Amino acid sequence: GSASVLAAAGAWSGIERVRSCAYQRMQVEDAAHAWTIQFDAAEFAMERLGTIVENAAVTAVLWQLLKSSPMLELRCPARVTGIQVDDAAATLTLDGGAPLTARLLVAADGANSGVRKLIGIGHEQWDYAQQAVVGVVRTAEPNPGTAWQRFMDGGPLAFLPLSDGQSSIVWTRPAREAKRLLALESTAFCRELGEACGEWLGEVQHCGERASFPLSMRVAERDIGPRAVLLGDAAHVVHPLAGQGVNLGLADAAALVEIVIGQRKRGADIGAWNLLQRYARWRRSENAVMAGGIHFLRGLHMVPALAGLRGFGLGLVSRSWMGREAFVRRAAGLAGNAPRLARGEGLESLVRQA
């Protein structure tokens, strides 16, 4: 999964040293019908189901790797103000700097991608009128290393384990309700959070600084343009319901690396249209399955009249080993057509076997 991709980039050991928490168990509940699905790594012959890491740790380690690489030239800060594409290359105009020319332009500049706009790719957007309230909480019982999520009317609540026994929470609420929760003093917030999560881990004793961010889904009309490819949030932004946004972006990068290595090994043009089409077919289908599934699941839990249907569905999954295995492997980035880097293969092996 993502840890393997980051390891191939030389970043994972540094990220683990900063702050990370592997988890072996996951529990998913539907509060309305009391269905519970439990996943255990050992049941699926896996060392872990996933690892919780801080975004700041990931970006800090990757930034240090970029700065120390003799193979890269960094121009930062800089803003792309124009892009010209011909049959051989893409040329970028920068504010206050010399232009850049490359056979392949990779746009990984986030949800509001300036490059995406400059190359004329539009996007569709769904505003969920929800916000995710996030923070770190301490409970009466330490988190035993379990990722726990409860689906409720108005949005899901997740407790993600941290190495010190605390939990990182992601509480999805309607926008007005999220604003109210943020305004509560700490004791009142802990009390409401405790009522929402029930008896799991006991009383919520303390909450650190809270923040919130708006939720939406955004999908680019296409993932490629002449001599250009979109990665990560520049191509797709999904609801944090399944915690897959970063994982999808890293899988995009791993897939592009795999295709480009093969193209270079053959001495072919890494910005050729047929190569970009291969990438788009591969990742567009995978990302559409994940984004569409999350969008559907989110809608299913926003309509009270569908409570019976979602309870029935969770019940089926809880009784099916194959269903649970498919869920776990896709969430871990280990589905059958996952990039080879995500499946644990190293860069050297990728180059040898290209």
DSSP classification of residue 42 = G
Are the C-beta atoms of 233 and 245 separated by less than 8 Å? Answer: yes
* Among the listed residues 199, 141, 194, the one whose alpha carbon sits nearest the alpha carbon of residue 169: 194
When the pLDDT of each residue in the chain is averaged and rounded to a whole number, the result is: 86
| Least confident span in 81-90, 159-168, 209-218, 331-340 | 331-340
Residue 234 DSSP class: G
Q: Does 41 or 141 have the greater pLDDT score?
A: 141
Looking at residue 17, what is its pLDDT? 85
What is the token pair recorded at 72? 């890269």
What confidence tens digit (pLDDT) does each residue in 197-244 have?
988 899 999 999 999 999 888 899 999 999 999 999 999 988 766 567
The arithmetic mean of pLDDT across residues 73-86, rounded, is: 92
Q: pLDDT tens-digit profile of 176-191?
A: 999 999 999 999 999 9
Q: What is the DSSP letter of 190?
A: H
What single-letter DSSP state applies at residue 122? -
pLDDT (0 to 100) of residue 208: 93
At 166, is the secondary structure helix, strand, or coil?
coil
Nearest to 284, CA basis, from 221, 350, 218: 221
d(CA 153, CA 189) in angstroms, rounded, equals 18
> Predicted confidence band at 9 (pLDDT cuts at 50, 70, 90)?
very high
* Statement: residue 132 has pLDDT above 90: yes
Read off the pLDDT of each residue in 103-129 and give the average, rounded to a whole number.
Answer: 94
Query: Which residues have a Cβ under 8 Å from the Cβ of 170 and sit 6 or more positions away?
Result: 132, 133, 134, 156, 157, 158, 160, 240, 243
Q: Which two tokens stand for residue 269?
A: 């043009």
**Are 344 and 4 contacting, i.e. CB atoms less than 8 angstroms apart?**
yes
Per-residue burial over 91-127, b = 16 or more CB atoms within 10 Å of its CB, e = otherwise: bbeeeeeeebeeebbbbbbebebebbebbebebeeee
Cα 333 from Cα 312, distance rounded (Å): 26
| Torsion sign over Cα 235, 240, 246, 252 | negative
| pTM of the model as a whole | 0.85
pLDDT in tens, 291-332: 555 555 555 555 555 555 555 556 555 555 455 566 666 666
Residue 175 reports pLDDT greater than 50: yes
What pairing do the DSSP bridges indicate for beta strands 224-225 and 211-220?
A: unpaired
92: left (phi over 0), alpha (psi -120 to 50) or beta: beta
Using N-to-C axis directions, what is the helix angle for 245-265 and 273-300, rounded to 10°? 160
> What pLDDT is stored for residue 148 in this prediction?
94
> Which domains are present in the chain?
126-215 (3.30.9.10)
Question: Distance between CA 337 and CA 31 in Å, rounded?
Answer: 34
